[in-house]
Amino acid sequence: MKVLKIIIGVIVVLVVAVFIWLSMLPDSYRVERNIVINASPELVMENIVNFKNWENWSPWVEKDPNAAYTLSGVDGEVGASMRWEGNDSIGVGTMTITGIEENKLISYSLAFIKPWESSSEGVFKINISEEGTEVAWVDEGDLPFFMRWMGSAMDSWIGPDFEKGLAKMKVVVEELSANATPVLEEVVEEVEEVEGVEEVEEPVSD
């Protein structure tokens, strides 16, 4: 009987210790990654705000190339959503655009159904700098009491995916920008030539 009391006492102490430890941990998490893209903010914005373009750079596509995606709403506008059903690596969930500031910000809500239910809020921040267009990818959410221990690991779990996605986005967008530049230069040259001809021409007198 004495041994049983000792065992129960130890269990109680451990449970109390776990509760105290969890109560001292943060009840939310925040993950952020940044990159500079040598392209216009308009082109960067276009490749983020339109879900149809995510297949070109999303870090989760290669985790499950066979995942099924469904787009709803008007792509590129507030309320548009993307739902996916994939393997255990990406699970089942929905991302919905909740806010747009032209060439500055895209915010979204993220809801996972599998492998477990969870939700978070994310944002892409776009800023112009001397180096190019800066893109910050941020995701943050609340942690249930018994999941607070996961807070310190969220950065190492989500961060690498953000880094991979941003790096791939940089390659895709910079390639699009490079291909578009010669076409733009040709158009400018043609406009200048037309304007030059119009300046040379004089009215024909009777």
* pLDDT at 184 (0 to 100): 44
Q: 49 is in which domain, residue-wise?
A: 29-190
Would 200 be classed as within a structural domain? Answer: no
* pLDDT at 130 (0 to 100): 87
Contacts by residues 128-131 (CB-CB < 8 Å, ≥ 24 positions apart): 128/41, 129/36, 131/36, 131/38
Which pLDDT tens digit goes with each residue over 121-155? 999 999 998 889 999 999 987 665 455 555 566 77
Would 45 be classed as within a structural domain? Answer: yes
Phi, psi of 67 (to 5 degrees): -65, 150
More confident residue, 38 or 14: 38
Would 142 be classed as within a structural domain? Answer: yes
Would 109 be classed as within a structural domain? Answer: yes
Indicate the average pLDDT of the chain: 81
Answer whether the bond into residue 160 is a cis peptide, omega within 30°.
no
Which pLDDT tens digit goes with each residue over 72-100? 999 999 999 999 999 988 899 999 999 99
CATH number at residue 136: 3.30.530.20
| Most confident option among 7-21, 92-106, 116-130, 179-193 | 92-106
Would 172 be classed as within a structural domain? Answer: yes
Return the H-helix or E-strand segment holding 114: strand 105-114
Would 2 be classed as within a structural domain? Answer: no
Would 38 be classed as within a structural domain? Answer: yes
Domain count, the chain: 1
Would 18 be classed as within a structural domain? Answer: no
- Residue 26 clears pLDDT 90, i.e. is over it: no
- Distance of CA 102 to CAs 9, 43, 169, Å? 61, 11, 19
* pLDDT at 144 (0 to 100): 59
Phi, psi of 128 (to 5 degrees): -90, 130
Instruction: Please name the residue that has the structure tokens 């791939």.
Output: 168
Helix, strand and coil in the chain, % to nearest 5: 45, 30, 25
Tokens describing residue 45: 């914005």
